[in-house]
Amino acid sequence: MAISNYYASIAVVEIHADSTVTIESVSVTSGECVLSGAWEFQISDSENIQNVLSGKLIIPLGNLDAIKKLVGDSQVAYIEAGPFLSDARKAASEALLAYEAFKSENPTKRKKLVSPDFYHWPETIDFNVASKYLESIGKMATPVGTPEGFKKTLSAARLLKHLVDMWQLDEQERNNRKYVEGENAEITILPESWLSKLVLVQAV
């Protein structure tokens, strides 16, 4: 089974009412997703902001137009939760169908097969209220002592990490089943809808 040799850097960006900008970055490789950096800038410090964000996938919090204006022409692509979740649900559904088909080919010999276990992907997620989702699944949104201005940005980055971790666990589950063959067997670090954005960023 092939593993896609991609690296992704994703940044959560938030503009605050006091004209500060907070950024949390997440680095994704095969089998690993880590929070990799945090910055706070004045909104006037556009050059440094653009340098930090260049080449990244961007999850904007709040006003998208304001963030696009701030980022300018840096080599970035903007991503949303919806396509990620749609891809994840579809991949899990197709793998379950493959399991059922494989089992039905020889129900006597395969009756003890254990169904693959995939993450229960929600229909929607809003990174702007990431803390509510994390708390609803029993996860801490932000550590004690997190500066107030970073709480929303950090909780969104932690939710992003959780989603990527769950995607990669699902990929491993699909990879470990011998009935998954062909293109479906390729392990990817992110769903295709986000990978395609990553390719566009790298190609610029």
pLDDT tens figures, 128-145? 999 999 999 999 999 999
How sure is the predictor about 181, in pLDDT bands with cuts at 50, 70 and 90? low
Task: Mention every residue, 6+ apart, whose C-beta is less than 8 A from residue 15.
Answer: 21, 43, 62, 63, 66, 67, 70
In this structure, what token pair is assigned to residue 180?
A: 């998954």
Q: Is the dihedral of CA 161, 164, 165, 166 positive or negative?
A: positive
pLDDT at 155 over 50: yes
Counting residues of the chain whose pLDDT is more than 70, the rounded percentage is 90
Greater confidence (135 vs 72) lies with 135
Q: What is the pLDDT of residues 77-122, one digit of tens each?
A: 999 999 999 999 999 998 888 888 887 877 776 777 777 889 999 9
What integer best gives the mean pLDDT of the chain?
88
Q: What is d(CA 59, CA 98) in angstroms, rounded to the nearest whole number?
A: 33
pTM here is: 0.90
Give the count of beta carbons closer than 10 Å to the beta carbon of residue 153. Answer: 28
CB distance 4 to 30 below 8 Å? yes
Is residue 66 pLDDT above 70, yes or no? Answer: yes
Residue positions counted in the chain? 204
3-state helix, strand, coil in the chain (%, to 5): 45, 20, 35
- Which residues, at least 6 apart from 37, have a Cβ–Cβ distance to it below 8 Å? 23, 24, 25, 52
pLDDT bracket for residue 1 (50, 70, 90): very low
DSSP 103-166: HHHSTTTTTTPPPP------S---GGGHHHHHHHTT--SS-TT--GGGHHHHHHHHHHHHHHHH
Q: Which residue has the higher pLDDT, 23 or 4?
A: 23
Q: What is the DSSP letter of 35?
A: E
CA 106 centroid distance within chain: 37
C-beta of residue 102 within 8 angstroms of C-beta of residue 111:
no
Domains delineated in the chain: 8-203 (3.30.420)
The mean-pLDDT minimum among 10-14, 27-31, 82-86 falls in 27-31
